[in-house]
Amino acid sequence: MLTGVAFMVVTAMVATLISARNMPVTEPEKANNLVTEQITVVARNLATPWEMAFLPNGEILVTERGGRLIKISPSEKKVIAEIQEVAAVGEGGLMGIALHPNFEENGWIYLDYTYRSDSGLINRVSRYRLVDDQLAEEKVVMDNIKGGNNHNGGRIEFGPDGLLYIATGDAGESGLAQDENSLNGKILRVGDDGSIPVNNPFGNAVYSLGHRNVQGLTWDDRGELWASEHGPSGSASGEDEINRIVAGGNYGWPIITGEQRREGLISPALQSGKNMTWAPAGIIFLDGRLYWAGLRGEAIYSAVIDNGRLTNLTRQYTIYGRLRAIRLYSGDIYVTTSNRDGRGLPREGDDKIIKIIPTPQK
């Protein structure tokens, strides 16, 4: 992570300029294979935004970790709901959001959140109907995912198969990641009502295992699933991962990390190495590349998909601080800052949603 005084001063000046003007940067920023024609602050003064989802009309639903669901439109920022059950403890709280593939017909949205139970912190995925900017008809889809101060996962996505994929963390108990009957340290796959697909590899909700803390899910143009995952922390930090996910795959945590290999375990398609920490969060696919947001890395990273391998790693957009959610809408990239999550340096107007309009270089 860059901590030089000069970098901090320049970063603060640029962030303040964008916040004050609330208009696109006029000079294009050239970054690797992209030319940024326009960078716009879409929303500001959010409280630790965790995830975004786009409504059919282009309005943005945003989860804040403290429990609020916000709607962002060109004319207003409106609180849709406050989920009273949410326990915003450590890395937990209101996290993932996903719209049902048939949202325009059924109005269903899905939320992943942490709550307190008699046995401690628990993560749950619930389905709601969005009616007149209000949430109604909560139905619990997946429950009793062990929570913790750290490693709650929380990203949820509908796949090309119409099924709901749920990323979970090991909740600080690494052994759970290797237990096929535990919901922790996994990628789960269920129907839109929580039912278990008949072709799930272990006969339960588990789709893949051996994960430490999956933070992002996306599919490429071949329908292959990719996931971003946090590597070890503390003195062994680094070795963050981007994984190509296959049904029934075991991704090794805590048995192997980084470049280590063992029969029956899957090593990452790309990892950051022992001396670099990305803390990768949301991830998207665009034009043959994966793009993922970096929290500790304070950047957007990208890599080219080449026959299942990842090459040409790049780091860009480093002037906004910690980045968490990243979404693609109508060809544009949207990213949230996470400078008010207790681990960043808040800047004027934080936290923000930033829109990036990319154009491939000739």
Cβ(45)–Cβ(54) below 8 Å: no
Cβ(321)–Cβ(314) below 8 Å: no
* 257 burial type by CB count under 10 A (0-12 exposed, 13-18 middle, 19+ buried): buried
Alpha-carbon Rg for the chain, nearest whole angstrom, is 19
Our answer to whether residue 151 is catalytic in this structure is yes
Cβ(288)–Cβ(260) below 8 Å: no
| CA pair distance 70, 182, nearest whole angstrom | 32
Residue 301: strand pairing partners:
292, 315
Rounded to the nearest angstrom, the gap between the alpha carbon of residue 212 and the centroid of all alpha carbons in its chain is 14
Q: State the chain's maximal CA–CA distance in angstroms.
A: 59
Q: How many residues does the chain have?
A: 362
CB atoms within 10 A of CB 100: 18
Phi and psi of 309, rounded to 5°? Answer: -100, 160
Point out the catalytic residue in the list 100, 151, 211, 230.
151
Active site residues: 151
